[in-house]
Amino acid sequence: MYIVIIGAGSIGSNLIDLAVRDGNDVVVIETDEQRANDVASTYDCLVLNADATNHDTLRDADIDRADAVISTTDIDAVNIMVMLLAQEHDVPNLVSVVHDPENLPVFEKIGVNLIENPQRLIADYLYHSVRYPDVSDFIDLDDETELVELTVTKDAPMHNQLLSTAKEAGTLPEGCLVVALQRNGEIRAPRGETTIRAGDKVTVFTDDATLADAVAAFTGDHP
């Protein structure tokens, strides 16, 4: 993919790292000269030390080639302007962070995919890391449900359990669903006849009420 990333701050820099390492063609636009130089010296990508709200800058970024534009600045007004300009160039995927919830309707009207309140996302991640150290990753789906990634341990109740009978036996909590399983580097869709084994990495859909029980079922540890 050809991706234009606006901003190389704490959010943008991590995004740049992921996008470049995944083999994408990346262009970074950053107004701060030091940040721009740091990115240019670290990553194999085009870096423009310029204002992304300027049409000429976006042309220099070859925005007409872009598969996606992602704006990560800490100023919503800048992100909105970038999204509007990118829309004029018919970029198919527009993504932006949104810091002030009151600005959400503006972004939604443009048709932007939103990363709402990134500071809250970071706080949630840190909290989960402390409260549920066995959770290697999680995604909040809404205020009550999330996806969590867990590695099954030998002393976990779900070790050597069939999915089809685990819920009936009460081993797998109600409101908990295994949606993906990775074993020996291979990702598969779990079925009722799938037996969960120690070392499996499972992605589990759960609600907040059963999160602790779900973690305990696959790791043996109850927070």
Q: Where are the domains of the chain?
A: 2-116, 122-219
Please provide the average confidence, as pLDDT, over all residues in the chain: 88
Whether pLDDT at 56 is above 90? yes
Q: 46 pLDDT band (50/70/90 cuts)?
A: very high
Domains 2-116 and 122-219 share a fold: no
CATH of domain 122-219: 3.30.70.1450
CATH of domain 2-116: 3.40.50.720
Q: Which amino acid is at 119?
A: Q
Cα–Cα distance between 158 and 43 in angstroms, integer?
43
Q: 123 pLDDT band (50/70/90 cuts)?
A: low
Cα–Cα distance between 45 and 48 in angstroms, integer?
10
Phi and psi angles of residue 184, each rounded to the nearest 5 degrees, phi first: 55, 40
| Triad 26, 2, 76: Cα angle to 5° | 70
Burial letters 41-62, b for 16+ CB under 10 A, else e: eebebbbbbbbbbeeebbeebe
Q: How far is CA 219 from CA 48, 153, 163, in A?
A: 47, 5, 16
Phi and psi angles of residue 218, each rounded to the nearest 5 degrees, phi first: -100, -15
pLDDT tens, residue by residue, 155-164: 999 999 999 8
pLDDT tens, residue by residue, 159-202: 999 998 888 888 988 888 899 999 988 888 888 889 999 999 99
pTM of the predicted protein model = 0.62
